[in-house]
Amino acid sequence: MKKKLFAAALFGAATMFSAPSFAEDVYFPIIAKGFSHQFWQAVKAGAESAAKANNVTITFEGPNTEAEIDKQTDILNAAIAKKPQGLGFAALDSKAQVPALQKAADAGIPIVAFDSGVESDLPLTTCTTDNVNAAGAAADKMAEAIGGEGEVAAEIHDQTSATGIGRRDGFVNRIKEKYPKITIVDIKYANDALKAADDIKATLQAYPNLKGIFASNEGAAIGLAVAKKETGSKVVAIGYDSGKTQKDAINDGTLLGSITQNPVGIGECVVNSLAKALKGEKLDKIIDTGFYWYDKSNMADPKVAAVLYD
């Protein structure tokens, strides 16, 4: 059943966007990077909860995998053509999808970016983790675990999204700035767990003295766990995101630990921000939704457990 925003809230404040009339349904398409990871299902749950609280209708869409940039752009263009009252978008390519978003802005549709922003001022805000700082925290944990020296590598989920770039640079730069005795000898890119596992096996073979590997998202971290188990490697393994497979790998010692975002909070932030935009409320350009380091010692901590997902 479609739901309506209380019209009086929409008429009270001046805004550059046209507020829908009382008779119109308020509809926000939320376009994610994909559905292949449980992370996006958690974001979807948060968005649906906020939609109910704000009395609006949403759809949650995305390509099947996070490699399908053209498919995501097609979904974006189709959503814009429906003339929604607002748009949530997590870009697979921070540059290539700006022209499509410009169409939304030209049509007076407020845009909220999430998870991964774009290189443009078109979004009113971006609901996201501070990926640079979060990956830096992973680098600190890596350095501590390997005694502050040795060779390490990274498996990054992509080279085009703001999250991929931010997590790569956050990890690499923290190592370079704080740990001069640690050398990053290899960086590979894979979002798919199978490809990530193959990449990491090749890295382990090429660098027999490797002490640690950082994997920058759920798929890469699962691949890291698989590669480590199949090769019998004792390398220190650190992941990012959550999900049952990754949590199990931490509990059995395959992964030292991981960084978790707050995916439910990200989904809530997107819908809440769009609703606020329609009311004419000012939004901060970046809304930091937070992160935690988790390992066997703190997974049961209520504040950490609340942002982990299966």
Q: pLDDT tens for residues 153-179?
A: 999 999 999 999 999 999 999 999 999
CATH code, residues 131-260: 3.40.50.2300
Matching fold, domains 7-129+262-290 and 131-260: yes
Task: Supply the pLDDT for residue 155.
Answer: 98
* pLDDT at position 247: 97
Neighbouring CB atoms inside 10 A of 298's CB total 13
Q: Name the residue type at position 62.
A: G
Q: How high is the pLDDT of residue 24?
A: 55
Per-domain boundaries in the chain: 7-129+262-290, 131-260
Q: Residue 25: its pLDDT value, please?
A: 87
Which pLDDT belongs to residue 36? 83
Note the CATH architecture for domain 7-129+262-290. 3-Layer(aba) Sandwich (3.40)
Give the residue ranges of the chain where pLDDT is below 70: 1-24
pLDDT digits (tens, 9 = 90+) for 250-287: 999 999 999 999 999 999 999 999 999 999 999 999 99
Q: Give the pLDDT of residue 95.
A: 94
C-alpha to C-alpha distance for 72 and 89, rounded to whole angstroms: 10
pLDDT value, residue 74: 97
Distance CA 99, CA 117 (A): 14
Torsion of CA 253, 254, 257, 261, to 10 degrees: -130
- For the whole model, what pTM was predicted? 0.86
